[in-house]
Structure 1
Amino acid sequence: MNQFYYDAVTKMEQLGVDDEYIQGWQCGFLQNPKREEQRLTEAYEAGYGDGEEKNTDNFGNWVKA
């Protein structure tokens, strides 16, 4: 596993980012197919898009209060 991926996931977990966002980010980063449509959530889709772009800028938007 690459260090960027590991560090990003660790940071998201430490910040308390929504699990749906994290799962989406991981799938997007790894270029896995998206979940079936009935299981998609806004957080998952946002994470998937950011993961595909290898983008770590939006984690803070998905921290659970």
Structure 2
Amino acid sequence: MNQFYYDAVTKMEQLGVDDEYIQGWQCGFLQNPKREEQRLTEAYEAGYTDGEEKSTDNFSKWAKA
């Protein structure tokens, strides 16, 4: 695993980011196929998109205050 991936996941966990978003981000980053449609959530899909783009800009939107 590369350092960017590790640091990003660690930061999401520290911020208390929604687990669904984190799982989506990881799958998108690693270019894994998306979950089957009935298991998709808004948070997962947002994470997947950001992970594909290797973006860390939206983590805070999904943090549980």
Q: Same fold, TM exceeding 0.5?
A: yes
**Gaps (5+ residues) in structure 2?**
none
- Write the deviation string for residues 2-53 of structure 1: whole angstroms up to 9, x where unpaired: 0000000000000000000000000000000000000000000000000000
- 2:63 and 2:42 map into 1 onto residues whose CA distance is 14
* Identical pairs, percent: 92
SS in 1 for 2:61: helix
Aligned length: 65
- 1:57 and 1:12 map into 2 onto residues whose CA distance is 11
**Gaps (5+ residues) in structure 1?**
none
